[in-house]
Chains A and B, each alone.
Chain A
C-alpha cells in the first residue's frame, strides 16, 4: 500500500490540476456553449472538492513529508501564474498580499512558494465566510462562490 504522505501528495496534485483546469471556465471570451460542453463532459466533476480542500491536502502533505516534491512545487507555481494572468486579464482587484500573520502555521512550509499567497487567501476567506450568517439561518461551512480562491 502507499504511504500516507504519498496519498496526500496525490490528492494535493489532483486538486491543483483540477483548479488549474477549472480556471479555464473563467477565461475571457469563453462561450456559454464551451462551458456547457465542458460541464456536461464531467471534466470538472472534482472541482468543488478541489476548491474546498486543496489547501488542506497541500498542508497535510507538506507537514508529513521530509521535503516537498519538486514536480508538485512546479504544479503549484503553474497554478499561481495562471491565476495571476487570469486576474490581470479580468482586471480583478487582487487582495493577495504578504502578511506576517498566517491563518495556519503550516503555511510556513511553503515559504518562498508563490502559491502560498493563494493558500493564505483561501484560508482567510474560509475563516471569514464561516463567521457569516447564512440567509436560511443555518451554519455554513462552504464559502459562497465570490469568496472562493
Chain B
C-alpha cells in the first residue's frame, strides 16, 4: 500500500496512515478484506467513512458519543489532557449542575483514535488540521 501511494499528493500519506490505524481493530482476514475492498480513494471520503463507523458506538452514547469528544478537542481553547476530557464527559452534554455522572475510563477515548493522537504530555490532538475542516 505504501508503494502504490508513493507518488500521490501529500494527503495520501495521511490517507495511508489512517487506513493502517483502522487495521488495528481488525481481527480476521475476512474483516481485513472487507475494509480494503471498501476503502475510498480520497481523504474526505475516508474521513466520512471513519466518522460513520466511530460515531455509532452505542456504549459511548451515555457520554455524548465520539462527536462530542471530537467537538471538545476541536473547539477547546488549548489542547486538553486526556484526563481533562474524561472529566468533561462526566458533565452531561445537555446537563445541569446537579446531573454530573461518573467519569468514564480512559479506554473510551480509543474509539477516536483514527482521527486523534495522544501527545507526549498526555494531551489529545487531531491527527491533521483537515479533520477539523
A145 to B76, CA, bound (A): 22
Asked if A7 and B94 make an inter-chain contact with CB atoms under 8 angstroms apart, the answer reads no
Q: Which residues in chain A, 7-46, are within 8 Å of chain B measured between CB atoms?
A: 7-8, 10-11, 13-14, 16-18, 20-21, 42-43, 45-46
Other-chain contact of B95, A2, A13, A46, A57 (Cβ < 8 Å): A13
Most buried by B among A43, A45, A56: A45
- Among A7, A16, A71, A78, the one with the most B-chain Cβ atoms within 10 Å of its Cβ is A7
Contact A10 B71 (CB under 8 A): yes
Q: Which B residues between 80 and 133 are near A, CB-CB below 8 angstroms? A: 80-81, 83-84, 87-88, 91, 93-97, 100, 103
User: Using a CB-CB cutoff of 8 Å, which residues 57-93 of chain A contact chain B?
Assistant: 57, 71, 74-75, 78-79
Question: Taking each of A1, A10, A42, which has the highest tally of chain B beta carbons within 10 Å of its own beta carbon?
Answer: A10
Please determine whether A7 and B95 come into contact, CB atoms closer than 8 angstroms.
Answer: no
B18 at interface by CB-CB < 8 Å: no
Pairs A–B under 8 Å by Cβ, sample size 23: A1-B71, A2-B68, A2-B71, A7-B75, A10-B64, A10-B71, A10-B72, A13-B95, A14-B88, A16-B97, A17-B91, A17-B100, A45-B87, A46-B87, A46-B88, A49-B78, A52-B78, A53-B76, A53-B78, A56-B77, A57-B77, A71-B94, A71-B96
Known: A2-B67, A2-B68, A13-B91. 18 other contacts (CB 8 A): A1-B51, A1-B71, A6-B71, A7-B68, A10-B68, A10-B72, A13-B93, A16-B97, A17-B100, A20-B97, A42-B83, A45-B84, A46-B88, A49-B76, A49-B78, A49-B80, A52-B78, A74-B96
